[in-house]
Structure 1
Amino acid sequence: MRAAGMARGMRAGGMGRASPLAPLTVAALLVLVALPVLFVVLQAVFPRLGAGSLAAPFSALGPALADPRLPGLLGNTLALGLSVVALSAVIALPLGACRALFRIPLAPLWDLLFLLPFMLPPYIATLGWIAALQPRGYLQQLVGFNLAGFLFSMPGIAVVIALHAFPVVYFAVSRTLEAVGGRLADVARVFGASPWRAFGRVTLPLAWPGLAASLLLVFAMAVEEYGTPAALGRSFGFEVLVTAIDHRVSDWPIDLPGAATLSLILVLLSVAAFALQWRLLARRSFETTAGKPQPLNKRPLGRWAVPVLGGFTVAAILATLLPIAAILAAALARRVSGGLALNNLGLQNFAAILGEGSDAWQALLNSLLLGLAAALLTGVLGTAAAVLMVRGQMRGRAALDALAMLPNALPGIVVAVGLILAWNQPALPITPYNTPLILILAYGCILLPYPLRYAQAALRQIGPNLEAAARVSGATPWRVMLRVLVPLMAPSLVAAMLLVFAVAARELVASLLVAPVGMLTVAGFIWRQFEQGSVGVGMAMAFVALAVTTLLPLTVLAVLRRAEQP
């Protein structure tokens, strides 16, 4: 009790209102998160904001909302998002439930194979699918027909995005069902419930919060995805809100008020999805009343072994092996028209991007450095915000938490538009616009929630006694945080920062919209090669980037785990 009291005193005096940590963290969050959103709203309300004028407020909202194309854009976006959610659920629910409830042969291998699609950027996977399914693509070379008609359609776009997004639901379902345990379902079986009834009425409702959260995340990923609709939808006139925003920002004449209005609609769509999740969870809340569930006793598959393993195999082939194989085949092709013949395979494309003087080297180095900077920025800011929210006693912690998590509801293109509007004002004496710092700000805003949530979860598992002991020994609040809290949070925080690094190093939308003139990133290099028709060079760069940004974090994690072992 005495230690807990001292810890409360430390939090009130050290991490409270008097600490400089609070104003610095709040100021950083306002600049990183609130400022882009504010300028999106201001630009939608004041169409002449770019000229430094607040005249004619709301004059651009009417024409933008009355645009006859808007219902189609909104309908396409909703249809795509809901289709991806449905497809992801169809793929992930049975696989995740089987992974949790039964003894699956080679279970860690399936988890690894399903993790790779999430690590594979969707726009890169899309390029692989184009190479495989287009006319005279790899599928037609092997079996005599192509699936271009399906790929270049709204269902095709939904399938490609779902094959990237379903691991989010798979891991959420499998881990949640394992955590729920099997004791309550076994009790239902004793009282006469069939296996399906016990699963549907006991096990699945207890897993509902994790399932709902994962499906919401999939919807948000689908409605903000730019690369797949842009690459596949252009050929048949399919446009969604994200691609329409890009056209208004990138194509002449520039329409910043229209882009801001569409950005607000996209944000409201994401916020509405979050509100729906909260409402569903509030109306359908399930919890156990008999203590912690016992570990789940997984059952053998029995006669279901062949169909279940067949499902895992098909999902792994479609989501992981085929896209990567298509990317590698295109990267090794001497000529795109040469096909899969052995005499058409070589390392010329890799030599082109790795040779001296190639732009690819600089693009890769730029992306790695930007990813590292974004990881450090979000790690430091996420740690500071987590300490304030969990250990601090300042007022407004709920509002601070909401501000820090706002990027969850902000599509990347909205962040990019907001940064353009905020930092391209003529009255600013100095600005990060057209410098690498603008990309770091973009990546930091988009990816801040990852380190924040990891840091909060780790901090809640650390009792107050160690902090109290350090304060009794004369340590200042800053020294307690740096020498006690941060080292204990380090494993979770490093994992989150590595995830930020991997995602930021190949992020597409912000890289295309706000990258400084003349500065190439991995995503920009690949996209430019694809648009110029240099498919082989672009695919080689995609494969190298995938290997580097996947293997480097995994290597760091392996080294850290080995260092922790006695």
Structure 2
Amino acid sequence: MNKNTLLPVFTGGALLFLVAVPVTFVLLQAIFPHLDRGTFNAPFSAFGKLFADAQFPTLLSGTLRLGLGVALATALIGIPLGTLRGLFALPYAALWDALFLIPFLFPPYLAALAWMLALQSHGYVQQLLGVNLNNLLFSMPGMVMVMTMNVFPVVYFAISRSMAASGSRLADVARVHGAGPWRAFFRISVPLALPSTASSLLLAFTLSIEEYGVPAALGTRSGVEVLTTGIEQRLADWPIDMPGAAGLSVILVAIACCAYWVQRALVAGKDVETTSGKPIAVVPKPLGRARFLVLALFSLVALTAVGLPLASIFVTAFSRTLSGGLGVNNLTLGHYKALFDLQGDALGALGTSLSLALGTALVVGVVGLLAAWLVVARRIRFAACIDALSLLPAALPGIVVGVGLILAWNRSFWPVTPYNTWGILLLAYCCLLLPYPVRYVSAAMRQIGNNLEASARVHGASAAQALRLILLPLVWPSLLASMMMVFAVASRELVTSLLLAPAGVETVSVFVWRQFEQGSVGDGMAMASLAIALTLMVMFLAVRLQNRRLY
């Protein structure tokens, strides 16, 4: 094989293996319900059976209500906070940014467990304030609230950056020409921020409808069912309904795609260029008398979204028993000692998660670098296909990837299969997290002129040598930052771990989930606190590396 075709063939093969295979088997199983018997009879009949199922309207309506509720709630919180951050001189702005980044780094399932400890009957809030919020928590509004506290930073950061970049300067021009402050805001700042607003709300919607941990933790006790829990139920309950799980997976992806289409339709033709090519200083306005009111608002949101869940986790980790309540006599380090007991499962789960996360970071780092290089720098013939395959997992819920891998590799015709080994978890993590390095490296490569690689080629370097000696050192900070983010996210992934982990293999997320189910809440929260500390450390280091790349 020619050296110039070796890397494209390797990259294309890796993308087919990681992404196309599971997606194809989900579609095939949904269309041909008897595929597991080796026949293509009765195509599309599974959808008729699915639509006739009395549970289907409940699953669909629950998913849509959750997604729309979270999108609305994140808009109510994220848009005002983001506007204040972007347009005004907010005191301690960097501190608020750092605090609001923390909830998004929380695994949603862990946030749900923390909120359960705080708000359930005889929880920490009732012990401190005498208020019982159990009925609110275990309901659709409670699920929306928990997801909103986890997802609103997406909207906050999008709005704040958009407002800071354009809204203030052009609004000032409108003020000079006679417009009042509110008129300038609604006629100038809001329309300019519409693309960022729509994109962030779309992301909030898709993140909520794809989430499994929050509905599984809160919805099962309140009777709220969604598509993700319906898929898991069809895979866990006997008899296993593979066509039904595949059909629900396709419907879930279709909802996400429809939401994307609606977002594109809303912002079509509304992009406005506001940059003339000259750097313009952004001068935020003083808050004046509203300073203390704004600080109180930011403090309330930070306390609710960050302080309360973190306090619940750490208090539980240091409490001897839940029934012992909040008191000095109930404090203990026993749960942390139990984690490092050589006869326990905690060290094995931690080692498995860290190993899988490291392997995932290395694999997607290599594949993502090659995919971005072929699309941005080389622009080969099938660049559009490579680009589509490398970014497709961003639209795939984790539970759909898990279903696809089960359907693809749990087949008798494979001479060798990763199914029922730790390798299936590695495939799942790689598929889900591949878009991270692709996006980071693509953005970095677009900032590099084509003349550098062309000069190397003119002087006799091959394409691979130009990549290794010229481009890789330049994009390395971005690539390393993305790999660190992949490492942090992979180390606490839940839904695919629950679906695919073979007997005897346990990850950190599965360990925490199982401990909570078995009543060993203190051990689970001790492990969760370690996972949070590790995730925050790695993610902030990744952000620092990325910021260094910008200067």
TM bucket normalised to smaller = over 0.9
Q: Which one scores higher on RCO, CA 8 angstroms, separation ≥ 6? A: 1
The question of whether the paired residues in 1 share the 8 Å contact of 2:422 and 2:502 is answered with yes
The aligned residue for residue 111 of structure 1 is 97
The aligned residue for residue 478 of structure 2 is 492
Alignment deviations for residues 264-312 of structure 1 (CA, whole Å, 9 cap, x no partner): 0001001111111222221433333755572221111101111111111
Q: Which one of the candidate residues 362, 365, 368 is aligned to 2:348?
A: 362
Any stretches of 5+ residues in structure 2 without a counterpart?
none
The aligned residue for residue 108 of structure 2 is 122
CA distance in 1, matches of 2:278, 2:20: 40
Any stretches of 5+ residues in structure 1 without a counterpart?
1-13
Moved more, 451-460 or 350-359: 350-359
Q: Which amino acid aligns with 1:376?
A: L
Secondary structure of the structure 2 residue equivalent to 1:338: coil
CA distance in 1, matches of 2:451, 2:302: 47
CA distance in 2, matches of 1:250, 1:404: 30
CA distance in 2, matches of 1:448, 1:160: 27
For the pair 1:137 / 2:135, whether they are aligned, the reply is no
CA distance in 1, matches of 2:184, 2:542: 42
CA distance in 2, matches of 1:555, 1:391: 28
Moved more, 174-183 or 537-546: 174-183
The question of whether the paired residues in 1 share the 8 Å contact of 2:136 and 2:142 is answered with yes
The question of whether the paired residues in 1 share the 8 Å contact of 2:167 and 2:188 is answered with no
CA distance in 1, matches of 2:91, 2:46: 59
Secondary structure of the structure 2 residue equivalent to 1:337: coil
Moved more, 547-556 or 69-78: 547-556
Q: Kindly report structure 1 stretches of 4+ aligned residues shifted beyond 4 Å.
A: 289-293, 555-565
The question of whether the paired residues in 2 share the 8 Å contact of 1:43 and 1:257 is answered with yes
Q: Which one of the candidate residues 59, 62, 75 is aligned to 2:61?
A: 75
Secondary structure of the structure 1 residue equivalent to 2:323: helix
Alignment deviations for residues 216-238 of structure 1 (CA, whole Å, 9 cap, x no partner): 11111000111111101111211
CA distance in 2, matches of 1:198, 1:377: 49
User: In the superposition, relative to structure 1, how do residues 254 and 444 fare at CA in structure 2: closer, same or farther (>3 Å)?
Assistant: same
Q: Which amino acid aligns with 2:383?
A: R
Alignment deviations for residues 320-373 of structure 1 (CA, whole Å, 9 cap, x no partner): 111000011111110110000110011111111122222111101111111111
For the pair 1:191 / 2:177, whether they are aligned, the reply is yes
The question of whether the paired residues in 1 share the 8 Å contact of 2:26 and 2:250 is answered with yes
Deviation of 1:419 after TM superposition, in Å, equals 0.3
Identity %: 54
CA distance in 2, matches of 1:397, 1:181: 36
For the pair 1:524 / 2:510, whether they are aligned, the reply is yes
For 1:79-478, list aligned pairs within 5 A.
79-180=65-166, 182-288=168-274, 290-291=276-277, 294-478=280-464
TM-score by length of 1: 0.94
The question of whether the paired residues in 1 share the 8 Å contact of 2:87 and 2:167 is answered with no
Alignment deviations for residues 423-467 of structure 1 (CA, whole Å, 9 cap, x no partner): 001111111111111111111111111111111100000012221
Q: Which amino acid aligns with 1:465?
A: N
- The count of aligned residue pairs is 550
Alignment deviations for residues 67-88 of structure 1 (CA, whole Å, 9 cap, x no partner): 1211111111011001101111
CA distance in 1, matches of 2:486, 2:542: 14
Secondary structure of the structure 2 residue equivalent to 1:193: coil
CA distance in 1, matches of 2:86, 2:7: 42
User: In the superposition, relative to structure 1, how do residues 469 and 405 fare at CA in structure 2: closer, same or farther (>3 Å)?
Assistant: same
User: In the superposition, relative to structure 1, how do residues 302 and 556 fare at CA in structure 2: closer, same or farther (>3 Å)?
Assistant: closer
The question of whether the paired residues in 2 share the 8 Å contact of 1:404 and 1:449 is answered with yes
The question of whether the paired residues in 2 share the 8 Å contact of 1:51 and 1:426 is answered with no
The aligned residue for residue 25 of structure 2 is 39
User: In the superposition, relative to structure 1, how do residues 158 and 384 fare at CA in structure 2: closer, same or farther (>3 Å)?
Assistant: same
Q: Which one of the candidate residues 460, 465, 487 is aligned to 1:479?
A: 465
Q: Which amino acid aligns with 2:119?
A: L
Secondary structure of the structure 1 residue equivalent to 2:268: helix
